[in-house]
Amino acid sequence: MIDKLRKGLLHSINVHGHAFQYAVLKAAEKLFEDNESPWVFEVAEFPVLNKSTPIHIDFILRNKFDQSYFIAECKRCDPALSNWCFIKVPYVSRGTSSGRERIVRELVFRKKENNLVHTGLQWIERSSDIYRLPFELKSNDKGEGCYGRGQINDAITQVLRGLNGMIEFAVNKLKIGNHKLFKEDSRGTMYASFLPVIFTTAKLWVCDYDISEADIESGKVNLGEAKLEERKWLFYQYAQSPDLKHPYSFTGLESDMPHILYADYTRTIPIVNSEGIKDFLSYSFWTEPDDWQSG
């Protein structure tokens, strides 16, 4: 009987991904202790509300150099669909192509002069290495029959629910007072920034094919000699739907559609393979907070 229970417990732990979540946390903790990463463990399974829907964030890391946080979602994928491939798109909005997008994170702040709480974005210079189309591809491994297709979308939805719930939580805390979640800068502004991150067991691939070269009659592409390259981690850009987004808007009546798409809805989500945890957490962006600009 004990052996049967142990086997059932083993299957449940592995399939539901709890062990993977805490293995990622342990790796992050060791990197911080070895001074190879600035990311400090804050909490696991943190409860927030997103549009009145309760959700638990897998874990949150804080940057020791800056008052910024990773809102983390861990996804142990089905072995049968363990290759995730990403493609850039040639058109995003007027004046912005996929090759010139900004890496962004969300900001909650309160200025000293008016004591009002605001939300906004912080960004780094435009990058040509951002992807927008994800695909789940089969591997040679046997599936576990628990998830099927849609794992990427599930992970994205979950991490954005966590991010938006965290923004609502942060706004409410800052309205009450100088919560320790925030830091005060030299101008007396209280602030904190947040970036959603997905850690996964999936192998990550990128393809350099320009999908606008598809045959316009059939709608099909011919990849031919298109290059496929494995990545340890990458930046994924996603325009979240209104049912996920928190209720605070960055744009006003004078804003045009490209600005609204970018400022109100588009979010950068780093997606990190288990082999890329060290490279990602030690990335130079995270140790140079002055490179981030608000706007």
Domain residue spans in the chain?
2-91+101-146+154-294
Q: Which backbone phi and psi does 195 adopt, to 5 degrees?
A: -135, 125
Other Cβ atoms less than 10 A from the Cβ of 49: the count is 14
Instruction: State the Cα–Cα distance between residues 185 and 38, nearest whole angstrom.
Output: 19
Average pLDDT per block of 10 residues along the chain, 295 residues long: 66 74 97 97 96 94 94 90 90 72 92 88 83 86 59 95 97 90 90 97 92 85 85 96 90 80 92 97 84 77
pLDDT of 52: 87
HSE-up (13 A, CA, CB side) for residue 63? 21
Instruction: State the Cα–Cα distance between residues 46 and 251, nearest whole angstrom.
Output: 29
Instruction: State the Cα–Cα distance between residues 193 and 171, nearest whole angstrom.
Output: 11
- Predicted TM-score (pTM) of this structure: 0.92
pLDDT of 239: 94
Instruction: State the Cα–Cα distance between residues 55 and 159, nearest whole angstrom.
Output: 10
Category of 181 on φ-ψ map: left (φ > 0), alpha (ψ -120 to 50) or beta? alpha
Give me the helix-helix angle, 18-33 and 2-16, nearest 10°. 70
